[in-house]
Amino acid sequence: MKKVVVLGAGMVGSAIALDLCKRFNVVAVDLNEERLKGMRGNCPVETIEAEIHDPEKIRELVSDCDLVVGALPGFMGFNTLWPIVDAGKDVIDISFFNEDPFELDDFAKEKDVTVLMDCGVAPGMSNIILGYHNARMEIESYECYVGGMPFERKWPYYYKAPFSPSDVIEEYIRPARMVVDGKIVVKPALSDPEFIDIDPIGSLEAFNTDGLRTLLKTVRIPQMKEKTLRYPGHRSVIEILKATGFFGREPVSVGGQELVPLQLTEHLLFPKWYLKKDEPEFTVMKIVITGNENGRRKQYNYHLFDHFDKKTMTSSMARTTGYTCTAVVDLFLEGKFKQKGVCPPEYIGADQACFDHVLTYLAARGVHYQVEEMLLPEEP
């Protein structure tokens, strides 16, 4: 039986490990013993309490495995990939890191290693869907709206974090890149707010975030944008914090003490954003792809609505993100994807068999993507 090492046992990482342990020998690694303790007894997962910052320790942890899964916060993700690749290990990663993944491409090919990155829900499944259609039609525009929220809309933030809170804040800070008329345009995160009706929730507020990532390099589509969805009211609160300087990374002097505003904000916000293990929440995604296919103008509308699984006590974000990752793990270990180097999810979607494998795998776990195909009138 093949061995998989999962680095990170947070809400999503633990769901990944528990899903994979049904078919593989799984080792879950995390610095937090409480997280690891919560996994024991649910499935035969070996757990290791360890610091994952040290490259030598990472090489040691992955030395005898067949595959590594990275489920760490974004600020750790990219630097963790280097020692994994240096150890000659294939890796599938879900971390929302800021660095350009293709900086690792030549090194990965030199080591004959595959790095499948951004294998979550968005980026991740959104890229897989676009990659599938991009290989089969001339796409004019791509729009992705996605978000995860608790069912309870509670003042003052109308939000709790179903994944790493530090990555949520990074979404609100990092400039958002999009494509307008074939050119990359950069706008502030949280900009261009709009209200959009999402079945069965109702009106949600969408705003720009930097979710296109590798798509800016790998596809040529004239119009592309990705927006995050939240309950109305959340964005305005975050804008106030942002405008006041609470997300600043430069130290400020307060009463003779040097403080980094972002660190203080995280310290105060995270307890209020903590999503309880049994707290009902949901994930929604809407994707609109428009273009020409076989001489006809078409539009494909994808819709995802997923919610907390009471039976397995697994959050929706862990299901939609984690099971996309484990679908790709399954795909790779079955030998159905063999490309070397840095491979974003759109490369997976371009292959019909890989695309079908991921959708089937997700559906077997109750994560269903509905698709509507529409013929559009020809442009004059």
What integer pLDDT is reported at residue 38 of this predicted model? 76
What integer pLDDT is reported at residue 254 of this predicted model? 92
What integer pLDDT is reported at residue 17 of this predicted model? 95
Answer whether 354's CB lies under 8 Å from 360's CB.
no
CA distances from 361 to 79, 222, 226, 263, 313 (A): 30, 32, 25, 39, 19
What integer pLDDT is reported at residue 33 of this predicted model? 86
Closest listed residue to residue 76, CA positions, set 164, 146, 15: 164
Give 238-247's long-range contacts (Cβ < 8 A, gap of 24+).
Answer: 238/172, 238/190, 239/190, 241/265, 242/172, 242/173, 242/190, 247/169, 247/172, 247/173
Gap between the Cα atoms of 72 and 104, Å rounded: 18
Closest listed residue to residue 59, CA positions, set 75, 80, 44, 39: 80
In order of their start, the domains of the chain are 3-120+315-368 (3.40.50.720), 125-307 (3.30.360.10)
Q: What is the DSSP string of 104-167?
A: GHHHHHHTT-EEE---BBTTBHHHHHHHHHHTTSEEEEEEEEEEEEESS--TTTS--BSS-HHH
Q: What is the mean pLDDT for each group of 10 consecutive residues in the chain (380 residues)? A: 94 94 94 82 85 92 96 92 97 94 97 97 97 98 97 95 86 97 98 96 97 97 98 97 96 93 94 90 98 96 96 93 98 96 98 98 98 87
What integer pLDDT is reported at residue 380 of this predicted model? 61
Answer whether 228's CB lies under 8 Å from 147's CB.
yes
Closest listed residue to residue 332, CA positions, set 10, 43, 69, 15: 69
Name 373's bridge partners: 300
Gap between the Cα atoms of 10 and 182, Å rounded: 38
Closest listed residue to residue 50, CA positions, set 42, 41, 61: 61
What integer pLDDT is reported at residue 42 of this predicted model? 67
Indicate the pTM of the whole model: 0.95
